[in-house]
Amino acid sequence: MYKTVREAVDYVSQFLPLIKDTSDVDKLIAPPFTALNAVASALAGSDVLVAAQDVFYEEQGAFTGEISPLMVKDAGGAFVIAGHSERRQYFHETDAIVNKKAKAALKAGLGVILCMGETLEERNSNRTFDVIKRQVVEGLAEFGEAEFKNTVLAYEPIWAIGTGVTATPAQAEEAHGFIRSIVKEIYGGAADDIRILYGGSVKPDNVKEIMAGPNVDGALVGGASLDPQVFSKLVMFKRG
């Protein structure tokens, strides 16, 4: 929940020149709903996509305050984020709700970034894999091949979101590898192609270590994305 419309458009004007030579990297910005259309317009002609930070699972109706997938698409959005840890934590979204949101977005022709991750208490009580498996299985419930192909997964340990604490490279790779193994049980070899992002205090000074894992395909960047100079450094990162 950052940036007014003017601030968001100004951000884009600073950001685009910094990442002009990154055609080999998929880039996406997720502004607040109020700036979605303005950011999409400012990014027109670039290869940077726009995502909504959340979405509701109905096309229209008596759901005051909610934003439908069709509204996101009409505003210029190409993706939505579903199941972000803060939505789960503060707004008590269940795996079933996250699944409904993801399917509604995909039905509308949007891509989905489906998030998952454990709390510190769950990790300390050795329930990390149980939690992740449940979130993957229930989050992808009733997904067909078409839905699966338009979905990106994101592992974001809740204990590393906005805390300055980052999962170690080994922890990130272990979780990503486990997620891929669960997806493989459901979809077979197609799991090799799905992208799994890491989210949780990713910064220019730790991105190399985080991205070293073979199962870490990118980053879902939070606080570090608020500064175009800092975020551009993450976009410019090249795997060795």
> Each residue of 166-180: pLDDT tens digit?
789 999 999 999 999
Could you give the percent of the chain with pLDDT greater than 70? 99
Note whether residue 101 is domain-resident: yes
- Domain range for 50: 5-235
Note whether residue 10 is domain-resident: yes
How far apart CA 197 and CA 209 sit, in angstroms, is 14
| Tens-digit pLDDT profile for residues 52-100 | 999 999 999 999 999 999 999 999 999 999 999 999 999 999 999 999 9
Give the count of beta carbons closer than 10 Å to the beta carbon of residue 148. Answer: 17
Residue 240 binned pLDDT confidence (cut-offs 50, 70, 90): low
Q: Which residues contact 19 (CB under 8 A, 6 or more apart)?
A: 25, 27, 48, 232, 235, 236
Total tally of structural domains belonging to the chain: 1
Contact between 1 and 24 under an 8 Å Cβ cutoff? The reply is no
Question: What does pLDDT average to over the chain?
Answer: 95
Per-residue confidence (pLDDT) for residue 103, from 0 to 100: 98
> How much is the average pLDDT of 223-228?
96
Note whether residue 114 is domain-resident: yes
Per-residue confidence (pLDDT) for residue 120, from 0 to 100: 87
Note whether residue 134 is domain-resident: yes
Note whether residue 240 is domain-resident: no
Per-residue confidence (pLDDT) for residue 184, from 0 to 100: 95
How far apart CA 175 and CA 190 sit, in angstroms, is 18
**Annotation says 84 is catalytic:** yes
The amino acid that residue 11 corresponds to is Y
| Tens-digit pLDDT profile for residues 117-162 | 999 889 999 999 999 999 999 999 999 888 999 999 999 998 877 7
Q: Which two tokens stand for residue 75?
A: 């505003």
User: Which member of 84, 118, 173, 176 is catalytic?
Assistant: 84
Note whether residue 217 is domain-resident: yes
| Tens-digit pLDDT profile for residues 1-22 | 999 999 999 999 999 999 998 9
How far apart CA 128 and CA 11 sit, in angstroms, is 36
Can you give the CATH number for the domain in which 124 is found? 3.20.20.70
Note whether residue 168 is domain-resident: yes
Residue 190 binned pLDDT confidence (cut-offs 50, 70, 90): confident
Contact between 109 and 58 under an 8 Å Cβ cutoff? The reply is no
User: Which member of 93, 122, 156, 173 is catalytic?
Assistant: 156
Per-residue confidence (pLDDT) for residue 163, from 0 to 100: 74
| DSSP code at position 45 | T
Per-residue confidence (pLDDT) for residue 44, from 0 to 100: 97
**Annotation says 142 is catalytic:** no
Note whether residue 120 is domain-resident: yes
Could you give the percent of the chain with pLDDT greater than 90? 87
Residue 217 binned pLDDT confidence (cut-offs 50, 70, 90): very high
